[in-house]
Amino acid sequence: MLPRRCDNGGTSVRADASDLNSLPEPADICIVGSGAAGLTLAARCAALGMNVLVLEAGGAQAEPGVQDAYAGELADPRVHWPLDTYRVRALGGTTSLWGGRSIPFDPIDFEPRPWVAQSGWPITYDEVARYYPAAMEAAEAGAFDHTPSAPIVPGLDGEWLHTTIERFSRPTNFWTRYGEQLTRAANVRVITHAPVTAVRLAHDGNSVDHLEVATPNGTRWPVRARAYVLAAGGLETARLLLASDDVVRHGPGNAGGWLGRGYMCHLAATFGMAHFTGAPNSIGFDYERDAEGIYIRRRLAPTPAAQRQRRLLNATVRLHIRDANDPSHGDPVLSLMFLAAFAVKYEYSRGAREADRSLGPYLRHVGNIARHPVQLFNFVRTWGVKRYLASRRIPSIALPARDNRYPLEFVSEQSPNWDSRVLLTEARDALGMRRLKVDWRVAAADFDSARATYRLIRDELARTGTGTLDYDEAALEDALLDAAAYGGHHSGTTRMSDTPRDGVVDRDCRVHGVANLYVASSAVTPTSSQANPTLTAIALALRLADHLQECGA
């Protein structure tokens, strides 16, 4: 491979596939994908002395022609985002647009729970938790300390509800985080515009012979390594395995039929209005910063005891701002959010883009701004510094309510569901790969748990005298479906299991039945917790690096 020069004068081993005049030399570890898991894994394997090759399908930035490979079909467009949103095919992957929430899974998530179908991991919480501190460091999210400074609502914490916190990354683009380190390392090669289109198994199906890479000039490369790690995300990893069915019918690791099944995101909706009785300044609504300057925010969640006794899925609620799309709020900041929706990434403005934007509501929003120009100016000045000029950005707009009334932003895990799945269609992308179809489904038990969680919060507010919760329980199911599968939390499509019958990868994230093929992704999580999957995917990648060293990859 021909070396390039970095801008700082050092020798780089990052190259674009179009510039190579020969095949990449075999590596110890070949990693497919350069998102949070892939780059963290690459950095750790390199530090352990392994020769690492990273293949990224995109370039330095997202490109429409490359991004089109993510487009696919939805069984129900109402309940799932388009497949080319919340995913970025470029260096750094989706970390170029994530919000930075860095939250660990909970011990209860790893346990077999009789009320949660297909629950229970083949590894324990402690086996993952030992890697959480390093995962927090990788994400630049501060210490592995998720102890709240105070209750979110004084007097509400107890046997059934408790305050938890979420920590936030910068948010960190992982190519910015690791790019220079990796491209300067003598034992790492990063190749862009090198999409992997197939995993080619040996004739007996028990190991990978090579990966097939589509080059920019239309030829196909065989790329070889001792071990291969698919770190292409919860959807694309499953797609690649499903497409690699020439030796093993239905794809590697699919002996039990689970490949592409058990697909989870999170259930979420901003639903219900809480009215607290305490002093407004006692409610833990706003962002806090710790001694390192890390942004932290408090949340409310059912305790493990409540989950066990009331047979609940793991869930949490955040206090939210009023609906920006409804001009009756009278707030100039919220009205500006509505008017500026099309200047914000689709992933963060879908609700406002799809709201009523007819002339009447539009003029009422303009009126809110016209009546309060000083308030809006002061907010924009402060927000601009915290959001766009600071090295660590404030995660979102937080406007404390003067009347002590807050909508609840509900987020819950899904129970693993065989019928919730991704599969291949007959349509093909420009590289000849069959496109994905997503059939994301929600089980009746998931809705039952959401309703029970709302009742628990309502009853505890009343019992403790800390407030009231107003909501229409009959409308909750539709609200959850209208909000759609939550963001980019694609999980479970290559679930971890003890046996090939029950999943796709084993406790070491190795694809069942294939000696040298691994997955580093939230795709391996058997259950999805209340937490964003990124931190756990990073922790599992670090754990995988240690395993690869131990087995001599």
- pLDDT per residue over 497-550, tens digit each? 999 999 999 999 999 999 999 999 999 999 999 999 999 999 999 999 999 999
User: Is the preceding peptide bond at 216 cis, omega within 30 degrees of 0?
Assistant: no
Strand, helix or coil at 467?
A: strand
Rounded CA gap, 390 and 393, in Å?
6
| Contact status, residue 341 vs residue 353, Cβ threshold 8 Å | yes
pLDDT value of residue 139: 98
How far apart (Å, rounded) are the C-alpha atoms in residues 320 and 105?
Answer: 22
**At 177, which helix (H) or strand (E)?**
helix 174-184
The tokens for 259 are: 């490949």
The pLDDT tens digits of the residues spanning 46-104 come to 999 999 999 999 999 999 999 999 999 999 999 999 999 999 999 999 999 999 999 99
- Residue-range domain boundaries for the chain: 334-397
What's the pLDDT band for 494 if we cut at 50, 70, 90? very high
Distance CA 423, CA 237 (A): 12
State yes or no: pLDDT of 346 exceeds 90.
no
d(CA 387, CA 395): 8
Confidence (pLDDT) at 388: 83
Closest C-alpha among 219, 214, 183, 190 to residue 66 = 214
Q: For residue 260, which of 98, 123, 441, 90 has the smallest C-alpha distance?
A: 441
Q: State the angle between helix axes of 359-371 and 373-384 in degrees (0 to 180), rounded to the nearest 10.
A: 90
Identify whether the C-beta of residue 112 lies closer than 8 Å to the C-beta of residue 308. no
Residue 6 above 50 pLDDT?
no
Task: Tell me which DSSP letter residue 151 carries.
Answer: -
What's the pLDDT band for 202 if we cut at 50, 70, 90?
A: very high
Q: What is the mean pLDDT of the chain?
A: 93
For the chain, the helix, strand and coil percentages under 3-state DSSP, each to the nearest 5: 35, 20, 45
